[in-house]
Amino acid sequence: MATFYRDDGAPTAYNGHQRQTCTERPDAHGRPRRCARAPMGRRRLPTRARTPMPSTTRSTFFTYPTKFGPVTIAADGTAVTAVSFGEQNLPGDRQPTALTTEAANQIMAYLAGQRSAFTVPMRPEGSAFQQEVWKAAANIPYGHTTTARALAETLGRPGSFRSVGAALRACPTPLLVPTHRIVTATGKPTDDINAALLKLEQQPLTR
């Protein structure tokens, strides 16, 4: 049993679980006197803090007409989660929100040649590798193109160009993430919509 001293010099015996306090001074030989065990009293167990339940945000989607045909946009209340050409039936409630409408307005301004980038918040779901690819694709400048192989080299994964191409095709927010700027090894667009978007970006922006 170890012995400690309080600030007033009285020894306190510690048995590893509770302290015993002596009110008497050491004896003539400097040895601590035998201490009576101090009452423990009732200890209150620490209460576990309640963890608030995570708030759930309702997903919505809505289809907007554009000069390139209908575009369906989905959002979760804080960010756009999906963009798809054509009228789609996506998870959630079919109704417009301020967020989906803002995204639609920015897309329509882009398709009208009036803007080159998007500022609406987006959160496409995907693996860590897919997120890395989409982030790299988002850095391709307006009016420029590259290939999946070149993008893989930019990521430091020169042998993963096929996986890069698959990640681009799986992107749930094309257009906001400019996957259309990835062309084939011969420089051709991957489909008709991407060809139309690239042709649009060759024209000067209007205000």
Domains and CATH numbers, the chain: 60-112 (no CATH), 128-202 (1.10.10.10)
Confidence label for 18 from pLDDT (cuts 50, 70 and 90):
very low
Q: Mind listing the pLDDT tens digit for each residue in 106-149?
A: 999 999 999 999 999 999 999 999 999 999 999 999 999 999 99
What's the confidence (pLDDT) of residue 58? 86
How many C-alpha atoms does 41 have within 13 Å on its Cβ side? 6
For a pLDDT cut of 90, what percent of the chain falls above it? 70
Choose among 109, 132, 128, 136: nearest CA to 120: 109
Task: State how far the alpha carbon of 173 is from the alpha carbons of 111, 113, 178, 194, 197, in Å.
Answer: 16, 20, 9, 14, 15
Residue 34 binned pLDDT confidence (cut-offs 50, 70, 90):
low
**How far, rounded to the nearest angstrom, does the alpha carbon of residue 181 sit from its chain's CA centroid?**
24
**Percentage, residues of the chain above pLDDT 70:** 72
Query: One-letter amino acid identity for 3?
Result: T
User: What does pLDDT average to over the chain?
Assistant: 82
